[in-house]
Amino acid sequence: MNNHITFHPSHEGIVSLCSQDTPIRKLIHHIGPLTLKTNENHLEALVMSIIGQQLSAKAASTIRQRVKMLCGEITPERVLRTPIENLRNAGVSRTKIEYIFDLCKKVHSNEISFANFHSQENETVINSLTSVKGIGKWTAEMFLLFSLGRLNVLSLGDAGLQRATKWLYQLDDRPKNKYMEEVSANWHPYYSIVSLYLWESIDLGFVDHFPTLEDVNEK
């Protein structure tokens, strides 16, 4: 099941960000409303995330569809009953199968409880998810955003977000590409909304093809 949250000008997060941060306000006004689509089938979201690791979008999409056809609904029981060779024939590597089975076993035994996540802090959810083989902090942060719909997720390890931040704020080179750390104070508690707009600025080609946002506006 998918849910949608659209960030219109009247959304409290948009109002807050626009009143506190000029570069973000300009970016939001230029791009317009964005929609966050969340996948409430939490197990499916994580399994598909594992499948997509280190693959092109096209390859990942093909393999995900094959796995869905194999398993039907993605549940711990159905995944664990699927023969390994069938998953291999669908294009899933043996390492990723190990990761997926580890996740499904932990969900099946209730070691990981999706029902509890909704009342837990971000760090608690991250710690629970990263106990699974193959799930790192970035994957857990994306789960917080795109499955739980959390608006207060700041993924400092996301290279694209750091790059877009450097571009938007016209920052000089920083050690270890730490750009969000310098300017994100005004984004709280709507880090996720800022992230969506920064990712969109990359997808639209702004970051790679225009020196500044002002140059985009002059196009």
Which SS3 state, helix, strand or coil, does residue 3 take?
strand
User: pLDDT digit string (tens) for 17-60?
Assistant: 999 999 999 999 999 999 999 988 999 999 999 999 999 999 99
pLDDT of residue 218: 66
- Residue extent(s) of CATH 1.10.340.30 domains in the chain: 41-140
Report the percentage of the chain scoring pLDDT > 90.
92
User: pLDDT digit string (tens) for 132-182?
Assistant: 999 999 999 999 999 999 999 999 999 999 999 999 999 999 888 899 999
Distance CA 43, CA 147 (A): 10
Q: What is the mean pLDDT of residues 116-142?
A: 96
Per DSSP, the residues of 9-55 read TTSHHHHHHHHH-HHHHHHHHHH--EEEEEE--HHHHHHHHHHTTTS
Mean of per-residue pLDDT scores for the chain: 95
N-term to C-term CA, the chain: 39
- Residue extent(s) of CATH 1.10.1670.40 domains in the chain: 2-38+153-217
pLDDT of residue 2: 61
pLDDT at 1 over 60: no
**Can you identify the CATH homologous superfamily of domain 41-140?**
Hypothetical protein; domain 2 (1.10.340.30)
For the domain covering 2-38+153-217, report its CATH number.
1.10.1670.40
Distance CA 142, CA 45 (A): 10
Distance CA 128, CA 197 (A): 28
Confidence of residue 217 (pLDDT cuts 50, 70, 90): confident
User: pLDDT digit string (tens) for 86-95?
Assistant: 999 999 999 9
pLDDT of residue 219: 57
pTM reported for the whole predicted model: 0.93
